Structure 1
């Protein structure tokens, strides 16, 4: 959760004690409406109607649309991947493949809607752009970074590898494929990305530092 959100919540807004279950319902409704109409057209009234919440309740909890969307973005980010339960297959490639969970058609449509909503925040609200970008790429980049660092400890990945950059490549490619190309991030694309881009990039540091042999005449 961002420092901005922590400060805002610490300040409080009075009224009755917050109900986490209602907060979740309202933030889920925010994500849905955001994906359907975009940030510019989203209103607090739309979200209240979708969540079946009173407007007074909404404004006691979030003073503005910006505050509401920020919390919705951070909720989306937190739900992406459980860093405490990452697969451990014994290899970086195996772990990256194991992280993939194919969506049902309904899940795929919902994920696309949510991503489009987050992208609209990037385009229309510069003050929230960092949070939206972090939600799109951040959780998966962190998961990939953890997997790659385990590879370093096993000796599978050279310590010179630029993991901080490489860990963002696949999540960024996934976001581009979904948002720009409007194509599913399926297993075939995942495997091609891992085998053609990610694993060669991780090995490149070792190849660059390996001694070259010279034949004498």
Structure 2
């Protein structure tokens, strides 16, 4: 998700939507029964995993380092995640799920406004941590292509669902032409965001988002962009 150089202004983060509500998994029994799993421990471990991934990169990251950072027993960590790759996917998935809640999508009255409402600026430090975490995820997927589907579910699928919901709502209120290919176009922004972050290693900033919405998505939906340079 580079050393600090004093106070810096807030900038938009790649793939970023500020947390609205954090979905958490219900406590689940451990393998073989016993006390239910403590979801708060999972969160602490996955937060530590993101921090370690951003600091060290995927190759140097170890599950023992995560256990120490989370102040968790090694057995607790290994019982939950049998491999480092699976832990990284879950950590990034949690980071992404925390950024969007389909029950709390903004309704500004226009599709353009709704899409832009998904975007929130974050501090430079937060943006850099997430960019480094995404770089670590990219390295992991290159080394373990079998986890590619899980990686897609972690970083793209939540945004596709949010975009689809917003476009369908816009069609229901008459903004979008009836024959628009919603399923295909719902993938446009999330896929470009993932490519920009994972491949180009560049932030998906607000200016680029506006360019995609006004220059590609709205015309594809049969809509015209407003005569404005920025939201």
The normalised TM-score by structure 2 is 0.75
- Aligned twin of 1:214: none
Greater C-alpha Rg: 1
Give the alignment of 1:1-217 within 5 angstroms.
12=31, 17-203=36-222
CA contact (8 A) 1:26 1:47 kept: yes
The CA RMSD measured in Å over matched residues stands at 2.4
CA distances 1:81-112 after superposition (whole Å, capped 9, x unpaired):
11110011111111111111112212211221
Over 3 Å counting, the alpha-carbon distance change for 1:199 and 1:133 in structure 2 is: same
Over 3 Å counting, the alpha-carbon distance change for 1:14 and 1:62 in structure 2 is: farther
Report the alpha carbon displacement of residue 132 of structure 1 after superposing the two structures with TM: 0.8
Report the alpha carbon displacement of residue 137 of structure 1 after superposing the two structures with TM: 1.4
Over 3 Å counting, the alpha-carbon distance change for 1:65 and 1:171 in structure 2 is: same
| CA–CA distance in structure 2, aligned partners of residues 173 and 152 of structure 1 | 23
Over 3 Å counting, the alpha-carbon distance change for 1:12 and 1:74 in structure 2 is: farther
CA contact (8 A) 2:89 2:154 kept: no
Structure 2: runs of 5+ lacking an equivalent? 1-24, 224-231
The structure richer in helix per residue is: 1
SS in 2 for 1:193: helix
Using CA pairs below 8 Å that are at least 6 residues apart, which structure has the higher relative contact order? 2
CA distances 1:25-48 after superposition (whole Å, capped 9, x unpaired):
111112222334444443221211
Residues matched between the structures, number:
197
The normalised TM-score by structure 1 is 0.79
Over 3 Å counting, the alpha-carbon distance change for 1:86 and 1:161 in structure 2 is: same
